[in-house]
Amino acid sequence: MSRPEDTLPPDLFYNDTESRKYTTSSRIQRIQSDMTHRALSLLSLASPSLILDIGCGSGLSGEILSQTPQYGTPGGPHVWIGLDISASMLGVALEKDVDGDLFLADAGQGVPFRPGTFDAAISISAIQWLCNAETSEDSPAGRLSRFFGGLYASLRRGGRAVCQFYPKNETQKKMVAQAAIKAGFGAGLLEDDEGTKNAKTYLVLTVGGGDLDGDITGVVRGMDSVHVMARPGAKAAKRGGDIVKGSRGWILKKKEQMERKGKVVKPSSKYTGRKRRVQF
């Protein structure tokens, strides 16, 4: 099946007809609601919170966030704020009279909220759209880094985010996860129904500090098919062991690399990497 991400940018793809089709299809509704419930269980919110919904679309997931615990929303009813780039989708949401606040915004341009605003963030089938850039002055990496940077800042310490997305391939999955880690999140990828056509990928993100149970590994403890990709602090430790650029060790390493490539390399001696005497 072709991916809508490869055909058109999201604001053009989700036009009036496509938005209506998306919102009224009972199959999509069921899948979206399953995924929202799954994401909510990963967020494990105990009390009514302020939640950011990235790519809220017509508010399919938002409707679930506004529900009370009796209707299966833990800790609800939550107050949510939704961002979406498609005006048609938001139009459908307005018609449905959803409870959350809606914003016409591109998540790839950042998240325009002050630091520490949200308790949690949720995103259902949206962030794969960030892997496409529509103009030459923009790049997928730039869009992802602005998005995750903005998201990291706008979450409170100890906050969590769960992003369900449809990666095109392994590379894209890795690119998204790496962008999140670079922004400072503790990140983990969780896959439901791995290896099948119904595979669902969840990126579970945590912001350090606060009352969280350790890092991301606390969220996914005891779950199957979870790969923890980075732990806060692990990166810093690795960087400390690197060889300083320009030092003798670095030069020797580079020479070895070049030699392995089959280049002609001058033999090393005790003078290799030494400073020249200051000439009078």
- Does 49 bind other proteins (CB under 8 A)? Our answer is yes
Which of the ranges 106-114, 159-167, 212-220, 264-272 carries the binding residues for other proteins, by CB under 8 A?
106-114
How far apart are CB 256 and other proteins at their closest, in Å?
43
Q: Which residues, 256 to 275, sit near other proteins by CB under 8 A?
A: none
- Binding footprint of other proteins, residue count (CB under 8 A): 32
Q: Whole-angstrom Cα distance, residue 93 to residue 96?
A: 5
CB 142 within 8 A of CB 148: no
CB 167 within 8 A of CB 127: no
Q: Which two tokens mark 162?
A: 């769960």
- Please report where in the chains the tokens 């399953």 appear, as a residue: 34
Which of the ranges 98-106, 208-216, 224-232, 269-277 carries the binding residues for other proteins, by CB under 8 A?
98-106
Three-state DSSP at 212 gives coil
Given candidates 78, 160, 173, 200, which one binds other proteins under the rule CB under 8 A?
Answer: 78
Residue 225: alpha-carbon gap to chain centroid: 18
Binding mask 128-147 vs other proteins (x if CB under 8 A, - otherwise)?
-------x-xx-------x-
- Does 70 bind other proteins (CB under 8 A)? Our answer is no
How far apart are CB 110 and other proteins at their closest, in Å?
6
- Does 121 bind other proteins (CB under 8 A)? Our answer is no
Q: Whole-angstrom Cα distance, residue 18 to residue 20?
A: 5
Given candidates 28, 31, 105, 252, which one binds other proteins under the rule CB under 8 A?
Answer: 105
Task: Using alpha carbons, select from 81, 139, 107, 96 the residue that is nearest to residue 11.
Answer: 107
Which of the ranges 16-24, 31-39, 41-49, 229-237 carries the binding residues for other proteins, by CB under 8 A?
41-49
Nearer to other proteins, 103 or 165 (CB): 103
Task: Using alpha carbons, select from 187, 190, 180 the residue that is nearest to residue 151.
Answer: 180
Task: Give the list of residues 6+ apart from residue 8 with CB closer than 8 angstroms, or none.
Answer: none
CA distances (Å), origin 266, targets 180, 247, 252, 256? 43, 17, 11, 11
How far apart are CB 119 and other proteins at their closest, in Å?
7
Given candidates 79, 229, 251, 265, which one binds other proteins under the rule CB under 8 A?
Answer: 79
How far apart are CB 194 and other proteins at their closest, in Å?
36
How far apart are CB 82 and other proteins at their closest, in Å?
10
Could you tell me if residue 262 is left (phi over 0), alpha (psi between -120 and 50 degrees) or otherwise beta? left
Task: Give the list of residues 6+ apart from residue 201 with CB closer than 8 angstroms, or none.
Answer: 164, 165, 166, 167, 173, 189, 190, 191
Rule CB under 8 A: which residues touch other proteins? 47-50, 77-79, 81, 83, 85, 90, 94, 99, 101-106, 109-110, 112-114, 116-117, 119, 135, 137-138, 146, 156
